[in-house]
Chain A
Amino acid sequence: METYQIYSLTSAVLFVIGIGGVFASRHFIKKIIATIIMGGGVFLCFVSFAERDALSFADPVPHALVITGIVVAVASAAFALALARRIYQLTGEESFTNDK
């Protein structure tokens, strides 16, 4: 097995763990962490494709895209955490319940 295949497979596993976590867990922070894991999987997948056609140097485009993606993911995660914190301050709740 080549190195990039190991990365690709790991990324798929991370993505599945993340998407499962988002749907399965109820706690705000767990859900947010799950989206971050999903993001990690996606970025790893992108980077693993940078080593294509046995080039002597890595393809720069995936790296540029991943940098942008990470910025976006960090911003969304920060926003989600801010919302979760505000909900906790207002209501004292820290997870989704069925009636909300």
Chain B
Amino acid sequence: MKDLPTSLFPALLVGLPVLFATLSLFFRTRGKALVGLTGCLLTAGLSLIAFVEVTQRGTVIHILGGWEPPLGILLRMDSLAAVFIGMTALVGVFISLYAWRYFRAQEAATGGFPLFWPLWLFLWAGLNGLFLSNDLFNLFVTIEVIGICAVALAVLSGKSGALFAGLRYLLAAITGSMAYLFGVALLYGSTGTLDLGLLGQVLEPGTTTTFALLVITLGLMIKMAGFPFHFWLPPAHSSALAPVSALLSALVVKGAFYILLRLWMEVFGVSLTYAAGQLIGLAGAVAVIWGSWQAFMQTSLKLIVAHSSVAQLGYLLMIFPLLILAPGVTAGSADWLSSAWTAGVYQVMSHAFAKASFFLSAGIIIMALGHDRIESLRDLVGHMRITALAIGIAGVSLIGLPPSGGFIAKWMLLKGIFLSGQWWWAPVVLGGSLLTAGYVFMLLRLAFAPAREKEPFRPVPKSLEVCALLLALGSFLIVLPADYLIQFLESSEIFGSGIESIVEGGADGND
């Protein structure tokens, strides 16, 4: 690990947003927004430069302050981290531009929510830190930074509904991180190290390891709103301000998934069994069906979008049963591993773009109508053509129709499912898509239907609609560099790896 090329970028990716967040605290309303937006643009630019650096030099590391691990902190940026950081930057920059215009337009009535900017920058620093972390404790600190910033952002509007949802979210987040930390304590107690790479080598199967796996998975499932711990997500995401909802569902929940993926594949290989993979896959499958069905039953736009997040996160959990091989199958002969990994990464990216666009569109509609009951979407096409187009495009990506990013994700997932012979997951993927099509087409039908009575559509800045549309288009454009991106990801050690089961049966109860 220490002989990899060093680069300053990993440190800058965490340091720069923290610097601008702190700086913005010294300014008043307008200044805060200006400094905040500058910080966002610079961080996004830096992330993209760092991405290019990794494509050229391969995995880079940074040892903070020259203190080598185990005393110091080592940041590692491999291609998987680079892709997540690049995605955060692209989605983040559009949401930042939207937020700037959105808060400006409402400044007179609400004061412009200046605290959004430092909180969002701290959140961004936390996310970058999470993707770059290489030890268990550092991951704990970053998920805490992310959790507290996310809750603070969710309650920014100060309304009682948002506060209730925020407190519930915060309690779930604290419980999740304490369970995670308990697992970290057990792992440190049994191995004496926190480094992910080293843990993967020295960890031995046994009761302690299984218990640690159990509590860590429990904690991260609570944090990523995996079924049955999704209860906090719909109220928290739907009651937040529009740019915040977009951040929370596009980026924040992906952080916990990233840790779960890294830990399962890099650390816990020895104590994972085929049954554990099937069980977490089952949690994902139930989430897909239940979340889509709930979304279908809602009558307000933001609640539809929030419940659909539960379902789309379920797809992410469904790649785990494909990555944990049945007894007797070797990683070399399992030709579906690459498909499953591609499905996971593309699901994360297409959901981030499409869901951010969806929530931003919902914000525009609330701005125009004052509420988001879906009945009022009637004649949306006549009044706000761009927003209607954005909802349509993002919806198509969520359903997984070609040629969207969502299509690649679901296609690759199905390919992996059939190649691995685990056919029982296929109806879930197809059924989930069908239900998703149900609520997306329901929205589109209303958008094209003639209005029953004249409802006043207040004018909304065009730039807001353009931001939402660009994000929706982004969920399609990520398909273009697919070949290149997968080739790049394969340079990461973890991408395309699978876990070979040694013992048959055994551990269970991992959700």
A: residues with CB less than 8 A from B are: 15, 18-19, 22, 28, 31-32, 35, 38-39, 41-42, 45-46, 48-49, 52, 59, 61-62, 65, 68-69, 72-73, 75-77, 79-80, 83-84, 86-87, 90-91, 96, 100
- Asked, given contacts A62-B188, A83-B155, whether A96 binds B182 with beta carbons under 8 Å apart, the answer is no
Q: Give Cα A21–Cα B91 distance, bound, in whole angstroms.
A: 38
Evaluate contact between A49 and B185: CB separation under 8 angstroms.
Answer: yes
A80-B160 contact, Cβ under 8 Å, with A42-B182, A72-B144: no
Closest to B186 in A: A45
CB < 8 Å neighbour of A22 from B155, B166, B175: B175
Q: Which residue of A lies closest to B182 (CB)?
A: A42
Distance in angstroms between the alpha carbons of A41 and B175 in the assembled complex = 12
The residue in chain B whose Cβ has the minimal distance to the Cβ of A28 is B167
Interface members, chain B 158-213 (any A CB < 8 Å): 158, 160-161, 163-164, 166-168, 170-171, 173-175, 177-179, 181-182, 185-186, 188-189, 192
Contact B163 A42 (CB under 8 A): no
Q: Please determine whether A49 and B167 come into contact, CB atoms closer than 8 angstroms.
A: no
Tell me the smallest distance from the CB of B90 to a CB of chain A, in Å.
Answer: 30
Q: Closest B-chain residue to A65, C-beta based?
A: B137
| Residues 136-171 of chain B, each 1 if its beta carbon lies under 8 Å from chain A, else 0 | 010011001001100110010010110110111011
Question: In the complex, A73 Cα to B161 Cα: how many Å?
Answer: 25
Tell me which residues across on chain B come within 8 A of A100, comparing CB atoms. Answer: 161, 164, 235
**For residue A87, which residue of chain B has the nearest CB?**
B163
Does B509 make an interface contact (CB < 8 A)?
no
Give the distance in Å from the alpha carbon of A19 to the alpha carbon of B144 in the complex: 18
Taken together as a complex, chains A and B put the C-alpha atoms of A68 and B144 apart, in Å, by 11
27 interchain pairs (CB within 8 A)? A18-B178, A32-B171, A35-B175, A38-B174, A39-B178, A41-B182, A42-B182, A46-B188, A59-B192, A61-B188, A62-B188, A65-B188, A68-B141, A69-B140, A69-B181, A72-B144, A75-B148, A76-B148, A79-B148, A79-B170, A83-B163, A86-B158, A90-B160, A91-B160, A96-B164, A100-B164, A100-B235
For residue A73, which residues in chain B have a CB less than 8 angstroms away from its CB? 174, 178
Query: What's the dominant secondary structure at chain A's contact region?
Result: helix
Given contact pairs A35-B178, A42-B181, A75-B148, A22 touches B171 in the complex (Cβ within 8 A): yes
Are B170 and A61 in contact, CB atoms less than 8 angstroms apart? no
Beta-carbon contact of A86 and B163 below 8 Å: yes
CA separation between A76 and B167, bound complex, in Å?
Answer: 11
The count of chain B contact residues (Cβ–Cβ below 8 Å) is 34
A34 to chain B, nearest CB (A): 8
- Inter-chain CA distance A45–B163, complex, in Å, is 33
Within the assembled complex, what's the spacing in Å between the Cα atoms of A59 and B164? 42
| Inter-subunit contact A96/B168 (CB<8 Å) | yes
Among A38, A72, A84, A91, contact of B175 (Cβ-Cβ < 8 Å):
A38
| Contact partners of A31 in chain B: CB under 8 A | 171
Which residues of chain A are within 8 angstroms of B170 by Cβ–Cβ distance?
76, 79-80, 83
Min CB gap A86→B, angstroms: 6
Closest beta carbon of chain A to B241's beta carbon, Å: 16
B70 at the interface (CB under 8 A from A): yes
B163 CB contacts on chain A under 8 angstroms: 83, 86-87, 90
Neighbouring A residues of B178 by C-beta, 8 Å: 15, 18-19, 35, 38-39, 42, 73
CB neighbours (8 Å) of A86 from chain B are 158, 163
Q: How far is the CB of B494 from chain A (nearest CB, A)?
A: 25
With A15-B182, A79-B152 known, 15 other A-B pairs at CB within 8 A are A22-B171, A22-B175, A31-B171, A35-B171, A38-B175, A38-B178, A45-B186, A49-B188, A65-B188, A72-B141, A72-B144, A76-B144, A80-B167, A87-B163, A87-B164
